[in-house]
Amino acid sequence: MKKTNAARLLDQLGIRYTVREYDVDPDDLSAGTVAAKIVIPVEQVFKTLVARGDRNGVCFAVVPGNAEVDLKKLAAATGDKKIEIVSLKEVLPLTGYIRGGVTALAAKKNYPVFVDETVELWDEISVSAGQRGMQILIAPADYLKATQGTVADISKN
């Protein structure tokens, strides 16, 4: 198995994790499909979205696979007046990752990371390993440490 930059970062930090690989359907990169393929509940798979605020710039929003980002709540958490998800064509240049493989771990730049508060409900969460077809299972506290993430109420209920 090839190590991704995300896995290398966790290794450097001495953080324990496991990797689950799965077959990718480029036409269906949804968190629900990923969850089914690695056999965990969709709300335990956290998807990473890239957003840009009017005051503080780019950040990552990390929410459960069955939820959407609440942009008003995200703006409040980031200190922005207005925030929006960046266009798909901006994702690779900003993060170094392609859609379906975006992670806050070892991204091109260390943008602020805001993780939905439901992360604290789990002993282990799944996030992209930095490429399609690979997920990292990690303890939420370790993920927050590795990404220097902030826990916030940022998903729509």
Three state DSSP letters for the chain? CCCCHHHHHHHHHCCCCEEEECCCECCECCHHHHHHHHCCCHHHEEEEEEEEECCCEEEEEEEECCCCECHHHHHHHHCCCCEEECCHHHHHHHHCCCCCCCCCCCCCCCCCEEEEHHHHHCCCEEEECCCCCEEEEECHHHHHHHHCCEEECCECC
pLDDT at 114 over 80: yes
Please determine, for residue 157, whether its predicted confidence score (pLDDT) is greater than 90: no
Flag whether 139 is in a domain: yes
Which residue bears the tokens 């170094």?
96
Q: Which domain holds residue 71?
A: 5-152
> What CATH number does the domain containing 52 carry?
3.90.960.10
- 77 within a domain of the structure (yes/no): yes
Phi, then psi, of 10 in degrees rounded to 5: -65, -40
Residue 157 counted as domain residue: no
**Using one digit for the tens of pLDDT, what is the confidence trace for 2-46?**
799 999 999 999 999 999 999 999 899 999 999 999 999 999 999
- At 1, is the pLDDT very low, low, confident or very high (cuts 50, 70, 90)? low
Count of domains in the chain? Answer: 1
Instruction: Indicate whether 84 belongs to any domain.
Output: yes
Q: What is the pLDDT of residues 94-109, one digit of tens each?
A: 999 999 999 999 999 9
* 87 within domain boundaries: yes
- 121 within some domain: yes
